Each structure stands twice: as C-alpha cells, then as structure tokens.
Structure 1
Amino acid sequence: MTILIVTRSDDLGASGAVTRALQARGEQVYRFDTDLFPTQLQLVLDERAGGRISGPEGVLELGDISSVWYRRSAMGGRLPREMDPQLRRPSVEESRRLVFGMLAALGVFQLDTLERVRRAEHKPLQLELARSLGMEVPRTLMTNDPEAVRAFAASCPEGVVAKMMSSFAVYDEQGQEQVVFTTPLEAKDLEDLSGLELCPMTFQERLEKRLELRVTVVGDRVMAAAIDSQRLPGAREDWRREGLALIGAWQPYTLPEPMEQQILGLMEALGLNYGAFDFIVTPEGRHVFLEVNPAGEFAWLTRHPGLPIAEALADVLAGCAARR
C-alpha cells in the first residue's frame, strides 16, 4: 500500500521531511505535484473510483492508496501562459474537478479532506468556536463599511489593526513581492478608508504583546513554539515581517493544560487532523487566539526549535496514531 502526498513542485521542505519520516517507517510514498497536472501527469478515473496516476514517479494504482496527505494545490500551473484565457480557465477548472473528485471518491483516510479544510478556513467560524470553548479572542470587526470601522476604532482605546482573511501578495513594477501584513491604523488611515467598498477587510483591537506562539497540532499531539517578536521593531505588529531574521530564535513553549484541551476541542469541532494555531501572549500572561491555519507551514519549526512535526504527521498517515 502507498501513501499519496498531494502538493506542488516548490513544496520541498515540509513534504520532503514527511516523506523521509514515512520511508523510515517502511511506508511507500507517491508524490502528486499538482502543478504538473494535466501537462506532465496523467490521471485515469472510472465510475468505481478505480484508475491510476502516471507521472515522474511512475505508475500508482488508485486501489493501492492507503491514505492521503492533502497539502498544497496548484492545478494547471504548467499550462502555457500564452494560452487563450477563455480556454486556460476551463482547463484549470476541469483539472481541479478531476483531482478533487478523485480524492473525494477514494474512500481512504485523508489528512485532511478538502471539505474539512475549506470549512475550517472560515475565520468567523474559528473565532466563534474558539470563544465558545473558553479561549480569549480579540474584539473583531469584518466589514466593507467605513463608518462601522471608525465606530469600532473609537471603542478600542489601544487602537486597531487591519488584516486580510486570506494570505496573498501583490507585485510591484520590478516584480518584487509585497506581502500584506497585519498593520496598525493611524488617525489619518481612519479618515481615508476609500477602497474599502471594493474589498472588505478585518479589523481587530490592537493588543500589546510579550510573545507570539505557533502551536502545531497533529492528531492529538500539541506542539508549541514561541518567538519574542518585540525584539525587532519591524516584527512588533507581525513577526512575519522579520521572519528570516527571527527564524533561529524560536523556542519551545509549555502551554497551560486547560489551553491545550481547548485547542484539541477546536480541532475536534473543525474535524481536523492538522492545524497551525497563532496566539498572542500579553505582558500579563493572557493567551489570545488569533487563528488556525488548516494547511499552515511548519518546516522551520522542525529546525528551530526542533519540533517533531514531520514524525507526528507520518505516524497519523501510517495509522500509528490517533485520527479524526
């Protein structure tokens, strides 16, 4: 039997670590790089969910798949850019539907199913579930109404920050990536909220930080790491701005026992086997939930501070640890 890893060609660190951990356990692994489909990978699927995948790693019969790690998706990534957009769009969509349809029809354990991942990505749902489980969450407003934003900001004595519910980047004229980070709003920003009618945003009360946490959950294993984001001015509002500079400074962190149980409760409510949680620790020691990413990155944490995340994923995929 074979474990199928669904990802893309540029995903090397995390998927490579899990592949090695699985192979060390004697498991067979097949990598499906979705950006190679449909140009360099072939998929055959019949009405009984039988068929095969053919590509750079050889041929895999679908009936030989024992479990799936759904990690990244980039269907149609190698289609010619000069292709007529009216033809390219349906090609990408048909490719997505075939691959996702194959995954839905397989009938094997998946970490995690596309349906569970898509549901878990809803930030309003995350905040409501976390709050109902007893976690502290920041006061939050998600809107395209400028007057509602100004009223919300007036009720937050420490100020507000703006963020997006989805992660994305824009590119300048030189092709340089400009990532949209969490940003505090000044008075002049609140005066001019033009453009909000074109795209809603998320606004939260600004919280003073002592530490920021990344808590990675795999099955029933909860692994926490902390970073002192206040040590660098550029990282104080969003540690990702100085992510490379801080990469070696992550330290193991011990969570309060009640908090660990709340985190597992949220994983259960979302039906997830994997989740990457972000928390703020305030100077008073309060732990404030920000979000959970059902497909969040973790590779750097396997080096600093050395969390056994790849091994935990391999255990769940191989059926050696608890699953949801």
Structure 2
Amino acid sequence: MADETRISIDDTGALLGECHTIYLRRLGLDPRHPEFETDFEERPLSVINQLREYRGLLLSAIRHLQDNGVRVINPPDVLGIHSLKPWQLSRLAAAGVPVPETCSTNDPAEVRAFADRVENVIYKPIGGGGHAHHLESVDLDDDRLSRLANSPVQFQERIDGNDVRVFVVDGEVVAAARIVSDALDYRSERHDVERIGLESLDPEIERAACRAADQLGLPFTGVDVVNAADRFVVLEANPSPMFATFDELAGTNVAGELAGFLADP
C-alpha cells in the first residue's frame, strides 16, 4: 500500500467531495501587490521565497483537484497569458483574428523602424500593470531608447475607434459594452459604460471574440476590441476580466451567465 500523500490548505480537504467546479479569479501572491508592500520593503528576499512556497502549495492543490475531476475556470495554465501579450497577439493573428500591428522589443533599432513605418504609435508594458502612452519624437532619443535594456516595451499601431469589451462564456458571446472615454487609455480616468445589445453587435466581432477565446483556451474571457469606422482589431483576451462594473453600469448580466456556466456540471 502506497504511503498517503496529503495536500492541505486551512482545512479545505472537503472541497474534493463537495464541488465539481471552482472559479479561480486570480492566484495573487505577487510581491508587488499593496498587501505585501511593507514586508517587501523590509525583507524582499524572504517575501519572494515565502510567496513562492505558498504559490507552489496552492497550484499543487488546484492541480490535484483537476486530476480528480474538479473543473477550474479559468485554469492556472491560462491565467498567466495576461502577461504574455506578444504571444497572445501572434497566436490570434495566426488564427485569422485581426490585431493591430505590434512590435514587442528591447531593440532601439526595431523601435525606430517601427515608428518610421507606422504613423500613429502607442506604447505600453508587455506584462500589463501600466497605461498606454503616445509615442512622441522625444521618446526616440538615444537616452530614452537606451532604457529598453532595462525592460522591453510593446509598441503598437494606434487605432482610433470605440473601445468595446466582449464577454465570452463557454464559447458564446453573452454580453458586450462600449467604454465611453476620450482618454487614450480609459483606465486612466473615470469612464462610463454603455451596453451593446447582442442583436446589434457586429457578427464579425462576435466571431473574432469567440475565436480568440478558443485559440487561447479560455472558457471565460473578456475580449478587448477597438471598433473603428472601417475595421476592428482585437487587443487581447483577458483571462480574468472584471465584470461587476459592466453589469452595474451597463445592465449586462455577465455574473448571471458565468454563474449558470459554473453551476452546470
């Protein structure tokens, strides 16, 4: 008889016999998060090591549940694609999903060549966590571009149009809304949200959102689209999209659609 192997996190062992599905919003355990700020300033290496151990235990417990038939939405192996924006875009482009022209690099020469070719350029972090900015001529100075050696950046064609969030649950579009803002990056200021009836949503955008979810292995996602007068592009598919604000301000029912999916074994 094999020795018993046990994974235990605060008496959660009963989960295996009680549920068929778990909704995984995010793993957390990131030393950059505010809850770890004080400890990280005082003892950074210890905090990094501690969070690595917690993450190892948590991921092991989740995979153990998956091995025993518990469905995890979204599973840990796809939650991480939020910080893999260059791979996301290349994957979507290969699948025929329209995306903006993009250059993710730490090479100043590549940036200058991209800026020469693309008239209107924005830049933003590759792994998220920051806002988009217009690329100005001063950004192409040697001093500014030399900082790419410290951290690569994503440079992207700017598409003027409406910011649209399309929610996909289990391969179907369940809600869509337009984000009302005059800012380059709507997250930088207060904004409103207007519901788009599914009967009014461009069928091509609907198909692209579903294709993006399928290509990236996302049972639940919020697909960010810029819808211009003559074209639309997909910016990314978020593996852990916030939806409460959309339901509250735009009258969508993402929470209900997601709950129904999670409740169905």
Q: Deviations over 1:206-235 (max 9, x none)?
A: 2222x1101111213312111343xx3xx1
Does residue 117 of the first structure (1) align with residue 68 of the second (2)?
Answer: no
| Identity in percent | 30
Cα deviation for residue 281 of structure 1 reads: 1.3
Hey, what's the Cα distance between the residues in 2 that align with 1:99 and 1:79? 21
Cα deviation for residue 121 of structure 1 reads: 4.7
Q: Identify the structure with the greater strand proportion.
A: 1
Does residue 258 of the first structure (1) align with residue 217 of the second (2)?
Answer: no
> Unmatched 5+ residue regions in structure 2?
none
Does residue 92 of the first structure (1) align with residue 92 of the second (2)?
Answer: no
- Indicate the SS of the match to 2:20: strand
Conserved 8 A contact 1:135-1:289: yes
Q: Identify the structure with the greater helix proportion.
A: 2
CA 1:189/1:119 → structure 2, altered by over 3 Å: closer, same or farther? closer
Does residue 185 of the first structure (1) align with residue 135 of the second (2)?
Answer: yes
Letter of the 2:195 partner, please give it: Q
- Indicate the SS of the match to 1:95: helix
Hey, what's the Cα distance between the residues in 2 that align with 1:78 and 1:208? 38
Q: 2:165 aligns with which of 214, 219, 228?
A: 214
- Indicate the SS of the match to 1:303: helix
Cα deviation for residue 86 of structure 1 reads: 4.2
Conserved 8 A contact 1:120-1:270: no
Hey, what's the Cα distance between the residues in 1 that align with 2:157 and 2:248? 33
Greater alpha carbon shift after TM alignment, 265-274 vs 124-133 = 124-133
In the TM superposition, what are the counterparts of 1:288-307 in structure 2 within 5 Å? 288-307=233-252
CA 1:313/1:160 → structure 2, altered by over 3 Å: closer, same or farther? same
The answer for the alignment partner of 1:139 in structure 2 is 101
The answer for the alignment partner of 1:164 in structure 2 is 125
Q: 1:149 aligns with which of 104, 108, 111?
A: 111
Q: Deviations over 1:279-298 (max 9, x none)?
A: 111133x1111111101211
Q: 1:272 aligns with which of 203, 218, 222?
A: 218
Cα deviation for residue 271 of structure 1 reads: 1.6
Cα deviation for residue 137 of structure 1 reads: 1.2
In the TM superposition, what are the counterparts of 1:242-253 in structure 2 within 5 Å? 242=189, 244=190, 246-247=191-192, 249-253=193-197
Conserved 8 A contact 1:221-1:312: no
Q: 1:64 aligns with which of 18, 32, 37?
A: 18
CA 1:262/1:74 → structure 2, altered by over 3 Å: closer, same or farther? closer
CA 1:79/1:104 → structure 2, altered by over 3 Å: closer, same or farther? farther
- Indicate the SS of the match to 1:224: strand
Greater alpha carbon shift after TM alignment, 61-70 vs 73-82 = 73-82
The answer for the alignment partner of 1:20 in structure 2 is none
Conserved 8 A contact 2:97-2:208: yes
Cα deviation for residue 317 of structure 1 reads: 1.0
The answer for the alignment partner of 2:5 in structure 1 is 47
The root-mean-square deviation of aligned C-alpha atoms, in Å, is 2.6
Letter of the 2:62 partner, please give it: L
Conserved 8 A contact 1:143-1:202: yes
Does residue 225 of the first structure (1) align with residue 225 of the second (2)?
Answer: no
CA 1:119/1:283 → structure 2, altered by over 3 Å: closer, same or farther? closer
CA 1:314/1:144 → structure 2, altered by over 3 Å: closer, same or farther? same
Hey, what's the Cα distance between the residues in 1 that align with 2:48 and 2:89? 34
CA 1:287/1:79 → structure 2, altered by over 3 Å: closer, same or farther? closer
- Indicate the SS of the match to 2:160: coil
Conserved 8 A contact 1:181-1:238: yes
Hey, what's the Cα distance between the residues in 2 that align with 1:206 and 1:295? 24
The answer for the alignment partner of 1:22 in structure 2 is none
Cα deviation for residue 167 of structure 1 reads: 2.5
Cα deviation for residue 67 of structure 1 reads: 1.2
Q: Deviations over 1:71-126 (max 9, x none)?
A: 02234957982874443332221111111100001131110110122246522232
Hey, what's the Cα distance between the residues in 2 that align with 1:109 and 1:198? 40
- Indicate the SS of the match to 1:196: helix
Hey, what's the Cα distance between the residues in 2 that align with 1:61 and 1:294? 24
- Indicate the SS of the match to 2:249: coil
- Indicate the SS of the match to 1:194: helix
TM-score with structure 1 length normalisation? 0.69
> Unmatched 5+ residue regions in structure 1?
1-45, 169-179
